[in-house]
Chain A
């Protein structure tokens, strides 16, 4: 009879060791904390923000940071701090939202292509190739011009133009998993194809997908900023970092605070996500046990 020795040493299951390695990466941890803070702030923005995002105040235009307006006001007397909060909210919305689209579309297409193989794979991959070849930015501009400048449109557009990379990634993983012993075992048990994809293939692809999301979010935020620069970003008066920076550059010599604060937050946010992405990726591929 088998004797099972009690495991009294520290338990090291996969995700807990990933977390442990992640934690030891200081920058990644800092990034994560930052993201948590801004996300909470974003959720509660309507209650935290001292002023509305389009609350104009013609008596106080172009004011430097003061007690009344923490980060100063812009050309229409609107509080920059509040506008930044809303911009952050929009950025996160666009970031998470677009990645949701990317993941859904990319995973479905990639998983089917990778798992099925053959003609299905070829057709789907050609579609992916075409998407890949499109200049993403241009495509986004076209979509936004055609469909309007609402946040949800922008979010969708970025998602629709950006799923190709994820699809390729997922397809590669599905192809290698397809031949794994445990997948063959599932087939031998009589599992249907969709069941196998759902329970055997997808859960084993989570790692790289999460990393890809972590990098995709800053990309999406960046993309919106780019759109704003050509006047295709979030429609004012709703603020986004892109349109705030873009509008503020005109006054940069006289009133730098209009650009400074949004740019700073923008940069910090992107940096935070990037560190988290890096940290996740390193944590999931350990090199040498310590």
Chain B
């Protein structure tokens, strides 16, 4: 596995430690799932990797090149290889351009191909994402949510990227459509060997698509492990709480009337107390948790946690 991305990243997004000292790597063809709730910084992280938000510190190394050191023009050229799919598919498409034009735009921007060649590519992309070719002249607001998101994916694929940041790509879609889009992403991953950073608050969806999963809380990664490890042997109390609080399909006709809930609320990322960020909600909090911030270390092979009690 070649290191595709390495990032070391203490960043302060405007007096809010939105992303605070985050490091991880993603290999070729690998999908890293990034789970977190609001305030975790996961969206900020995704955008910072692509420099859509400028990080304050740290490195983002993409194929041996530190993205942060690139100038405007070089960065623009590099963008071909890393793309993003957004949460709100309608908002991510230019409402004044047709679906076809939206998909074609990356090719125009980078001056690729002639008019016919581009049109042909757009048709192929529509096929790849499972859309009928006739929607090529439809405007985004005429399409359904699922179709819009597929257009977004097609556009992201137009430049043959190697890496895609998927920022909650299915959260705003209907359940039955979510499944379709997730399947699509899975297919594309296999067919084209793409690497994904798959950001979501939905642990189940993340599990389906990812190879490894990272859990974020208030700006740092609190646990990172290969998928099976994380879901079977979660170490961090927050991870455990997340897993427990999802309503599961009742087995054997036994619904659960009460749901395991974490106490308290996510504190504001401004003015964090010293020590572990999770202390205010942790059941097992001890003295050392309140004083010292736990280091992110490897506890089992490939399984990293930031917790004193692990």
Which A residues are within 8 Å of any B CB, using their own CB?
Answer: 1-2, 4, 7, 13-14, 180-182, 184-192, 195, 199-200, 203-204, 206
B94 touches A190 (CB 8 A): no
Is B109's beta carbon under 8 Å from chain A?
A: yes
Q: How far is the CA of A180 from the CA of B86 in the complex (A)?
A: 11
A190 touches B77 (CB 8 A): yes
With contacts A2-B131, A4-B147, A192-B76 taken as known, whether A185 is within 8 angstroms of B86 at the C-beta atoms is: yes
Q: Give every chain A residue within 8 A of B52 (Cβ-Cβ).
A: 184, 187-188
- CB 8 Å contact bits of B166-202 with A (1 = contact, 0 = none): 0000000000000010000000000000000000000
A13 touches B132 (CB 8 A): no
Which B residues are within 8 Å of any A CB, using their own CB?
Answer: 47, 50, 52, 76-80, 83-84, 86, 88, 91-97, 105-106, 109-110, 130-132, 134-135, 139, 141-142, 146-147, 150, 152, 155, 159, 180
A204 touches B84 (CB 8 A): no
Q: How far is the CA of A190 from the CA of B159 in the complex (A)?
A: 10
Q: How far is the CA of A4 from the CA of B134 in the complex (A)?
A: 9
Contacts A/B (CB < 8 Å), 22 sampled = A1-B130, A2-B131, A4-B132, A4-B147, A13-B139, A14-B141, A181-B91, A184-B84, A185-B92, A185-B155, A186-B94, A189-B83, A189-B109, A190-B76, A190-B80, A190-B106, A191-B105, A192-B109, A199-B97, A199-B105, A203-B94, A204-B94
B83 touches A188 (CB 8 A): yes
Contact of B95 among A184, A190, A204 (CB under 8 A): A204
Interface of A is mostly: helix
Q: Which residue of A lies closest to B73 (CB)?
A: A192
Q: Give every chain A residue within 8 A of B132 (Cβ-Cβ).
A: 2, 4
Between A180, A189, A192, A200, the greatest number of chain B beta carbons within 10 A of the residue's beta carbon is seen for A189
Q: Which residue of A lies closest to B82 (CB)?
A: A188
Min Cβ gap B183→A in Å is 11
With contacts A190-B79, A190-B106 taken as known, whether A180 is within 8 angstroms of B96 at the C-beta atoms is: no
With contacts A185-B84, A191-B109 taken as known, whether A203 is within 8 angstroms of B142 at the C-beta atoms is: no
With contacts A189-B159, A195-B109 taken as known, whether A182 is within 8 angstroms of B130 at the C-beta atoms is: no
Q: How far is the CA of A187 from the CA of B106 in the complex (A)?
A: 10
Q: Give every chain A residue within 8 A of B76 (Cβ-Cβ).
A: 190-192
A188 touches B84 (CB 8 A): yes
